[in-house]
Amino acid sequence: MIPLRLIGRLDIKGPNVVKGVQLEGLRVVGNPRDLARRYYEQGIDEIIYMDIVASLYGRNNILSIVAEAAEDIFVPMTVGGGMRTVDDIRAALRQGADKVAINTAAIGNPGFVREAAEAFGSQCIVVSIEAKKRGEGQWEALTDNGREVTGKGAVDWAEEAEALGAGEILVTSVDQEGTRKGFDLELLAAIHDRVRVPVIASGGAGTDEHVLAVCQAGCADAIACAGVLHYEMSSVPELKRCVGDAGFEVRP
């Protein structure tokens, strides 16, 4: 059994970590360096930094935050938001990122996924999918932090992204994000069943049991948590203990 990866997700706006509900109503919850260091010291397996306004404003202000984090955080870091070109990806990697997450640019130009994978390797490319339910068993992929519709089915897009060279799929349920009501297990299972690359679950964690439910459903290979950690409703050791006590393998 491959150990579950527990990932801390930091949504960045300007110099701050922010958190909303269904990607709206954002409020400042902390300093990115302080939160990242806390999660690293608690035993987090990876960290995702997501600049949630980069695509909206056509720029990326997150790289200085990543460079600062790389000085004292020694777990894999994924950087997303505003990754539009191979040069953007190269700049993120040079600042200390191990992987990049792409969404808006990938949907606008799917060939960009292939170009990026060929340039840096599939293991470096995470396609981020913001999925909103549109009917029974149907979800639409959104862009620009959930602000823009695409008409593209999220499950089909995940399969296409894998074929183009994505090494991982980050699946954020817009409906569950920030609600603390648990993950969209149906969405995760639909995508997990269609792809062979790792699926990262994001959006909805409010308790240890919500994380455990993903493991029990077998619908993701990694779980990204934000509010449940930011607001100290749980901690990295508590989440890992809950999962481990249920018989699932976690990293020390």
What contacts 46, CB < 8 A, 6 or more positions away? 5, 6, 7, 8, 75, 76, 77, 78, 222
SS3 letters for 97-158?
A: CCEEEECHHHHHCCHHHHHHHHHHCHHHEEEEEEEEEEECCEEEEEECCCCEEEEEEHHHHH
Cα separation, 111 vs 166, in Å, equals 11
Beta partners for residue 7, in sequence order: 46, 224
Are 158 and 194 a contacting pair, CB within 8 Å?
Answer: yes
- Residue whose C-alpha is closest to residue 239's, from 6, 19, 12: 6
* Lookup result for tokens 């990295």: 236
Cα separation, 27 vs 110, in Å, equals 32
Q: What is the DSSP letter of 82?
A: S
Half-sphere exposure (Cβ direction) of 243: Cα atoms closer than 13 Å: 30
Tell me, rounded to whole angstroms, the distance of Cα 154 from its chain centroid: 15
What contacts 20, CB < 8 A, 6 or more positions away? 26, 27, 177, 178
Enumerate the active-site residues.
11, 130
